[in-house]
Chain A
Amino acid sequence: MFAVLFIVAFVADAHEWPPWSYGEDKTPLSIADAKQNRLFPPAQAVKWALKAFAATVSRVDGDRCAMMPSCSAYAIQAVEKHGFTVGLIMAFDRLMRCGGDEYRYASLMTARDGYSRIYDPLSHNDFWWYKTPDNLDK
């Protein structure tokens, strides 16, 4: 029994840890980090609402967003990163652009379901005012 468990654990581990990433720190966020990431109540409410939308409506409606990450995931990221007001403005901006002319400025990526989507992460839309190394040209 233990041998089987060991083999299963080993195989699972081998799958999770490809050779190059062996030894990399994959520990989840600590409690201190989680506390730091705690959002202002309105932003938290928006985040919960969007998560509820993704868990209910999106699940029934299907994954139909033309962009990657999807508009709801993008909105969650925007609220988490920039707070309630700017996060919401960025979410509205994204909803207006979804499936529009963005394909001329962004690259196409194949999602897990095999469909091509327009790659439009948050960093492509806040790079001009939110300067971090990650936000520089990609």
Chain B
Amino acid sequence: MHGMRKAFNTLLLLLALGSAVFMAPVCTWCDDGAAANRQFNFAVSLFEEGDYFRAVSEFKRLVFYYPDQRELCVEAAYMICRSYKEARRWDECIDACRRFEKSYPGSGRRNRVRLIKAYAEGQLKRFDDALSSYEHILKDGTDGDSAQKALYGSAITLVDTRRWDEARRTFERIPPGSDLHRSAVIFAKGLQNIDNVPRKTPVRAGALAALLPGAGHLYTERPRDALVAFLLNGAFIWATVELIEDENYAAGGLVGFFELGWYSGNIYSAVSSAHKYNRKREHDFIQGLKEKSGAWLYMDPEAKCTCFMYAMRF
């Protein structure tokens, strides 16, 4: 009886040990899933606090320690791209997006990542790259929302490169059913008036400045600069003439050299002022259109229709 009891206890012990050995991987897997979720939530909380640097580290930690949690890893890699974008670390953002495309080419997030990449390229003034990234999304054609945002983004990029007609045509391609259609219509209509923005002719400004120092500045609406240019040139020309009439050629030559500098500087300044005037007018016009149409929201990959409409000014 005693022997049987002992054998039963031994069998029980062996069963317990065996089940522990067989169940261990399952439990570890359960633990991994829970731990990865906790890790992801922590990283998201850092992202929401605006601590993007640490958020990136924590998302990377998740990808490194829990590569088997594929869905979470894809989300983490996507959040890394977003973190870099929010932190305005454009080069790192583009690298992260490239890594994402390489590691998870079939992911549902791929077009949103491409949108982020295109935006970062635009911020770095790499407009051709940005346009090519938008084109990539349009060719993919699987995600309607991202495709419309890509269309809108490429139109904005064309605006940034001053290709007004192409930009207007691209805005017009956005379908009426899209959330972005109303904004695109405002932009397209506004761009029809871009030629009516007041401009100054650089050649005329330069010619006026050459004829009478300061006149070019007056033409470009810079009265104080005009007065300074007129007085400086006048004083130096007068001094040069007086010195040469007094046969003081060395001093006359020196003052004349400086006058040459003031005179050519005055012409350069007038031409440059005309260009700056035009750029400022165009910039203000485009900025007004962007604000009126709520264009800044198109780049938020998580932006929803209602949010977008609410942001528009009427």
Residue numbers of A with Cβ under 8 A of B are 19-20, 88-97, 100-102, 105, 124-125, 127-128, 133-134, 136-137
Contact = CB atoms under 8 A, between A and B. Distances in A.
B66 interface: no
Given A20-B53, A101-B222, A105-B276, A92 B264 contact: yes
B222 A89 contact: no
B145 interface: no
B125 interface: yes
B312 interface: no
Contacts of B124: 133
Contacts of B264: 89, 92
A127 B275 contact: yes
Given A92-B261, A136-B125, A124 B269 contact: no
A125 B272 contact: yes
Interface string B222-236: 111100110010000
A97 B269 contact: yes
Interface string B262-285: 101110110110011101100100
A137 B160 contact: yes
Nearest to A86: B268
Interface string B66-102: 0000000000000000000001010000000000000
B268 A19 contact: no
A63 B231 CA distance: 25
Contacts of B261: 88-89, 91-92
Contact of A20 (B87, B276, B280): B87
B252 interface: no
Interface string B186-221: 000000000000000010000000000000010001
A92 B262 contact: yes
Given A19-B53, A101-B224, A128-B275, A92 B265 contact: yes
Given A101-B223, A136-B125, A93 B275 contact: no
B126 interface: yes
6 contacts: A92-B264, A93-B268, A93-B269, A105-B276, A125-B276, A137-B279
Contacts of B271: 128
A137 B221 CA distance: 21
Contacts of B225: 96-97, 100-102
Given A89-B264, A101-B217, A101-B225, 11 more contacts: A89-B268, A91-B265, A92-B268, A94-B265, A97-B225, A97-B228, A101-B223, A125-B272, A127-B279, A128-B275, A137-B160
Contact of B265 (A95, A100, A102): A95
Contacts of A93: 265-266, 268-269, 272
Contacts of B272: 93, 125, 128
**Residue picked from B221, B262, B266, B276, most chain A C-beta under 10 Å:** B276
Contacts of A92: 261-262, 264-266, 268
A133 B129 CA distance: 13
B291 to A, nearest CB: 17
Contacts of B229: 96
A89 B265 contact: yes
A97 to B, nearest CB: 6
B71 to A, nearest CB: 29
Contacts of B277: 105
A84 B217 CA distance: 25
A133 B268 CA distance: 22
B228 A96 contact: yes
